[in-house]
Structure formats: structure tokens, C-alpha cells
């Protein structure tokens, strides 16, 4: 006999993450949160669907449930990072075709590890039956009024920056969908980047008052920078030869394409006026995180890239889209 809905919740989804600041967690009709005084509540929700966002069971490359849980929470935390919010708590809505206790135990183990690493508690959710596994995580965070980093603040002359390195997560997709028996060290690195992206939470908070606009790169640099441009009513020139690549990507034949158009990196792309260049550099030093200037905001509403020969061409914004 399989366990029922309420035992399932009790067994796997209570006591995940630290309880400080949580007035009431899992179990009642609502959770109750103490929000830090004089802050705005930041909230975002994201859904992962089996067969779309991660391989379904039965596919040869079926994903480890602990890693699926990690990715679900990390992608959401990345949205908090992108607005400069500090994480408070999260909820989990889970649709399952059946109760597979082995899968649930592994999923909960990954979720717990991630919740502890980022000091964020699971305070509630919903559990339902459905044809496919669907995992919806909602995060709640706090940010002081008027300090959230928005997509809409970029101005001509601002410098465009990205954190970390780009393209690694896209390289992982080829490893996942064309599995081989023996993985190289690089391939292991790419898989880690794909399943365990690093939400840049401390960077987002440090960029309050410094960045004029910010976004996290989930669909690819060109597509996501494009959102900043649209929301800000500006354009940009970027220099592809400046894009930060990991050592493993340097020799990849598709490195540039993946860095521009591959998704899932969850680095931050942000803009800041040139007078704050030193402030940005100091943040990079303090956080020991590479931050690379890759281009500039321009008034004309186009996205251009430098060519090797000193010219400019239009850069397609192609990235991942569901529809």
C-alpha cells in the first residue's frame, strides 16, 4: 500500500530549511511569514515539467530527482538574485503520476540540501495527481523599497556586464541527450552547471544602488539582454570576443553560439553607468566572482555585435522559447 497525501507531505516536506523568521510553516491552511520591517515582498514562480524541462522516467537519460529539486529551487532563487532580493521562504506545488517513495525521498533530499545551503525554508505547497511530474516552486524574498533591480533602468552609455561564465549549461544539454558511458571532467563540470546553477544572490544584493538594470540569464544572453533593451527602450552593442568562457568551453566548437544563445546559465546580466565602474570592480573583488564588461547601451533600439573586422552586425535574439 502506498502512503496517502498527508503522510506524504509529513514524511517528505516538513522541516525543510531553517525556521527562523517563519511564524507558521507547513500544515495549516496558510503559512505565516514575518516580513522584515520596511521591505517590499519580492515573489516569483517557476514550473518544471517532466519531458520538457528535465527528462521523464523511461528516457535513457532520466535525471536524478535530487538534482531536479536542486535545479527547481536554484532557478527560482536566481529570480530573487536578479532583483536584488534576499530570500525569505518558498512553496512547492507537486504533481505526480503516482507515489514513488524512492523518487520522493531523493527529491526531498536534494531540496533539503539546497534549502539549507541558501538558508530558505519550505513553508507550504500543494500535492496533486497528474499524468506527468510537474514541479512548481514559488520563492518569496525581501528588498528595500525603490531598491529592486529592474529590467527597465538601462540608459545609453551604461556598460553591460555579465557574472561568471556563459555557455556551460547549454553544453550540458548535449551530454544529457547524447549520453556516453564515460564522461570527461569537462562534461561533469557542464552537468554540474546545468543542474546546480549558482543563484547570484550576494551579487544581486551588492548591486542595489549600483546597477541601472538587471536580469538573470535563463534563456540565453542575447534573448535576456533583449528583455532589458525592450523594457528600457534602448539598444546595445556587445563584443562577442569579450564573453567570459570557462576553461572547459574555450576549446568547444560551439562556445560562442552557446554563450550567446544557450540558456540555463543563471548568471546575472546587468548595466551600470561608467562612473560606477570602480564600484562594480570592487564588488567583483569582494565576492571573488568574475564580472566582465561585454558591451554598451546605445540609444538606437537595436542589438548589435562587433565583428572581428571592426564592423557591426545585428545579433539575433534567438533563445529558448516554449511557444
Min CB(5)–ligand ADP separation in Å: 7
**In this chain, which of 1, 2, 20, 29 binds Mg ion, going by CB under 5 A?**
29
69 binds ligand ADP (CB under 6 A): no
Torsions phi, psi for 212 (to 5 deg)? -85, -25
**In this chain, which of 125, 153, 157, 273 binds ligand ADP, going by CB under 6 A?**
125
Q: Which is nearer to ligand ADP, 4 or 156 (by Cβ)?
A: 4
**How far is Cα 122 from Cα 73, in angstroms, rounded to an integer?**
10
Binding mask 29-68 for ligand ADP (x = CB under 6 A): x---------------------------------------
User: Which span sits near ligand ADP by CB under 6 A: 69-77, 121-129, 228-236, 315-323?
Assistant: 121-129
Question: Which strand (E) or helix (H) includes residue 286?
Answer: helix 277-287
Q: Which is nearer to ligand ADP, 135 or 234 (by Cβ)?
A: 135
- Of 222, 239, 249, which is closest to residue 318 (Cα–Cα)? 222
Pair 71, 195: CB distance under 8 Å: yes
110 binds ligand ADP (CB under 6 A): no
Pair 82, 215: CB distance under 8 Å: yes
139 binds ligand ADP (CB under 6 A): no
Min CB(40)–ligand ADP separation in Å: 23
Min CB(123)–ligand ADP separation in Å: 7
What pairing do the DSSP bridges indicate for beta strands 22-24 and 213-216? unpaired
Residue with cell 515573489: 43
Pair 235, 301: CB distance under 8 Å: yes
Torsions phi, psi for 108 (to 5 deg)? -65, -35
Pair 271, 153: CB distance under 8 Å: yes
28 binds ligand ADP (CB under 6 A): yes
Q: Which is nearer to Mg ion, 29 or 185 (by Cβ)?
A: 29
253 grid coordinates: 566548437
- Of 109, 77, 309, 120, which is closest to residue 216 (Cα–Cα)? 77
**In this chain, which of 72, 92, 176, 203 binds ligand ADP, going by CB under 6 A?**
92
Pair 254, 220: CB distance under 8 Å: no
Min CB(53)–ligand ADP separation in Å: 18
13 binds ligand ADP (CB under 6 A): yes
User: Which span sits near Mg ion by CB under 5 A: 28-36, 179-187, 285-293, 309-317?
Assistant: 28-36
| Torsional class of 264: left (φ above 0), alpha (ψ -120 to 50), beta (otherwise) | left
122 binds, among Mg ion, ligand ADP, none (CB under 5 to 8 A by kind): ligand ADP
Return the percent helix, strand and coil in the chain, to nearest 5: 35, 25, 40
Question: For residue 35, how many other CB atoms are within 10 A of its CB?
Answer: 13
94 binds ligand ADP (CB under 6 A): yes
Binding mask 182-221 for ligand ADP (x = CB under 6 A): ----------------------------------------
127 binds, among Mg ion, ligand ADP, none (CB under 5 to 8 A by kind): ligand ADP
**If binding means CB under 6 A, how many residues of this protein chain bind ligand ADP?**
13
Q: Which is nearer to Mg ion, 29 or 309 (by Cβ)?
A: 29
**How far is Cα 55 from Cα 75, in angstroms, rounded to an integer?**
17
Q: Contact positions toward ligand ADP, by CB under 6 A?
A: 9, 13, 26-29, 92, 94, 122, 124-127
Q: Contact positions toward Mg ion, by CB under 5 A?
A: 29
Amino acid at each position: 500500500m502506498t502512503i496517502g497525501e498527508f503522510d506524504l507531505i509529513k514524511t517528505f516536506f516538513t522541516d525543510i530549511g531553517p525556521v527562523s523568521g517563519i511564524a507558521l510553516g507547513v500544515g495549516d491552511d496558510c503559512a505565516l511569514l514575518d516580513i522584515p520591517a520596511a521591505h517590499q515582498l519580492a515573489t516569483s514562480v517557476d514550473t518544471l515539467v517532466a519531458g520538457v524541462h528535465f527528462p521523464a522516467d523511461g528516457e535513457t537519460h532520466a535525471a536524478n530527482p535530487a538534482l531536479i529539486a536542486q535545479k527547481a529551487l536554484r532557478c527560482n532563487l536566481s529570480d530573487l538574485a536578479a532583483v536584488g532580493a534576499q530570500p525569505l521562504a518558498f512553496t512547492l506545488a507537486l504533481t505526480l503520476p503516482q507515489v514513488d517513495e524512492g523518487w520522493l525521498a531523493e527529491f526531498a533530499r536534494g531540496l533539503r540540501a539546497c534549502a539549507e545551503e541558501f538558508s530558505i525554508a519550505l513553508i507550504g505547497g500543494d500535492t496533486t495527481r497528474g499524468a506527468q511530474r510537474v514541479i512548481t516552486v514559488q520563492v518569496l524574498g525581501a528588498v528595500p523599497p525603490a531598491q529592486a533591480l529592474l529590467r527597465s533602468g538601462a540608459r545609453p552609455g551604461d556598460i553591460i556586464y555579465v557574472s561568471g561564465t556563459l555557455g556551460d549549461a547549454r553544453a550540458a544539454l548535449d551530454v544529457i541527450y547524447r549520453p556516453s558511458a564515460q564522461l570527461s571532467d569537462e562534461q561533469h563540470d557542464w552537468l554540474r552547471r546545468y543542474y546546480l546553477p549558482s543563484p547570484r544572490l550576494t551579487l544581486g544584493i551588492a548591486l542595489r544602488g549600483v546597477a541601472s538594470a538587471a536580469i538573470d540569464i535563463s534563456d540565453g544572453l542575447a534573448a535576456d539582454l533583449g528583455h532589458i533593451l525592450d523594457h528600457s527602450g534602448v539598444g546595445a552593442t556587445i563584443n562577442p570576443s569579450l564573453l567570459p568562457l570557462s576553461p572547459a568551453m574555450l576549446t568547444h566548437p560551439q562556445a560562442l553560439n552557446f554563450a550567446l544563445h544557450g540558456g540555463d546559465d543563471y548568471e546575472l546580466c546587468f548595466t551600470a553607468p561608467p562612473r560606477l565602474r570602480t564600484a562594480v570592480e570592487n564588488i567583483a573583488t569582494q565576492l571573488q566572482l568574475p564580472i566582465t564588461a561585454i558591451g554598451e547601451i546605445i540609444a538606437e533600439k537595436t542589438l548589435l555585435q562587433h565583428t572581428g573586422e571592426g564592423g557591426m552586425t545585428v545579433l539575433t535574439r534567438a533563445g529558448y522559447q516554449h511557444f
